[in-house]
């Protein structure tokens, strides 16, 4: 399988519960009560192929999006093909429904 996912560059931009201690009730600074988040924080896109037998490709990391040219060159050619070649038996590769996986160039590859 292969998959791509976006991760935030700054982990402080990930929303979630945080715990702090105070030495006195009500003695909590505003910076702990209210936290600002960027509307569009910097993100990285990470793509990786992983096989059920345990092999995995090197990850492809980008700050942009993947089009079919990038997908074929960076993901399929450089990372998936070496992973497939580690196998002696035929491999079933099942991409998800991302648009870049089904362009003419990607399907031709
Ligand atoms: Zn395998």
Q: Structure tokens of 40? A: 């569009």
How many Å lie between the centroid of ligand 1 and the Cα of residue 87?
A: 6
Tell me which residue of 71, 57, 64 sits closest to 99, measured CA to CA.
71
For residue 2, pLDDT over 80 is answered with no
Instruction: Kindly report the pTM of this predicted structure.
Output: 0.73
How many Å lie between the centroid of ligand 1 and the Cα of residue 51?
A: 5
Average pLDDT of every residue of the chain: 89
Per-residue pLDDT reduced to its tens digit, 22-62: 888 888 888 888 888 888 889 999 999 999 889 999 999 99
How far is 50 from 56, CA to CA, in rounded Å?
4
How many Å lie between the centroid of ligand 1 and the Cα of residue 86?
A: 8
* Helix residue spans in the chain (DSSP H): 30-33, 68-70, 81-84, 104-108
How many Å lie between the centroid of ligand 1 and the Cα of residue 49?
A: 10
| CATH superfamily of the domain spanning 2-108 | Ribonuclease H-like superfamily/Ribonuclease H (3.30.420.10)
């Amino acid at each position: 399988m292969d998959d791509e996912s976006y991760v935030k560059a700054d982990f402080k931009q990930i929303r979630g519960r945080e715990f702090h201690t105070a030495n006195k009730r009500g003695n909590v600074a505003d910076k702990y009560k209210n936290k600002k988040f960027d509307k569009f924080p910097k993100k990285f896109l990470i793509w990786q192929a992983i096989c059920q037998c345990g092999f995995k490709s090197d990850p492809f990391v980008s700050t942009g999006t993947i089009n079919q040219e990038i997908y074929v060159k960076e993901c399929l050619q450089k990372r998936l093909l070496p992973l497939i070649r580690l196998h002696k038996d035929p491999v079933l590769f099942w991409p998800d429904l991302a648009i870049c996986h089904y362009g003419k160039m990607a399907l031709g590859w």
